[in-house]
Amino acid sequence: MSLMYAQMGMAAVSAFSQFSQSKHQHKMEEINRKYQETMSGISAAQQLNTLTANEISLRDAAVRAGVSIETQSLEDRAVAEVAAATAGVSGGSVKSTMRGLMRSRLMAQHSLRKKVEAQKRAATQDRRNVALSRAMNKDVSVIARPNTASALLGLGASMIDIYDSHQPHGSKTTDILAGWGR
């Protein structure tokens, strides 16, 4: 009988150890989940910062291009006016040249505006992609919390198995329970 009690004691120690280990494992899984979510948040923030920096650079480039278009247009008009005055030309041909220069300026501005709009749409889509990626990378799996009742139930089952292994045939718990139904 002392072997049976020793085995039961070892089973109790083992059950307690497993329960403690599962509690510790649960805490570690929660800590790991928080860490992963924090790292995902930091990564998303870095991506958004990069996107913002790129948008600022694109906006600055667009402003510089707009100023360049205006400057070039003014220079072209001035050159055309000087050339017309030097040649002593006036009238329809000069007005036609000025309209052509204005049309060129307007087309360049329109092209620049369309390019900036396309870049803004791309940046908006990139921001959506970052947000979607962050949402998709969020861990929503269930982390099972260790249950004392389950641990005790498992310990009880182990104790019964040990007890039954030391009983003669016909006196085991299953034999006794089978006799109750009659």
- List Cβ<8 Å contacts ≥24 apart for 47-50: 47/130, 48/127, 48/130
The encoded tokens of residue 52 equal 């913002």
Q: Distances from the Cα of 44 to the Cαs of 52, 72, 82, in angstroms?
A: 12, 41, 56
Quick: pLDDT tens for 129-178.
999 988 888 877 888 888 888 888 888 888 888 888 888 877 778 777 77
Residue with tokens 């498992």: 154
Quick: pLDDT tens for 53-111.
999 999 999 999 999 999 999 999 999 989 888 888 888 888 898 999 999 999 999 99
170, amino acid identity? G
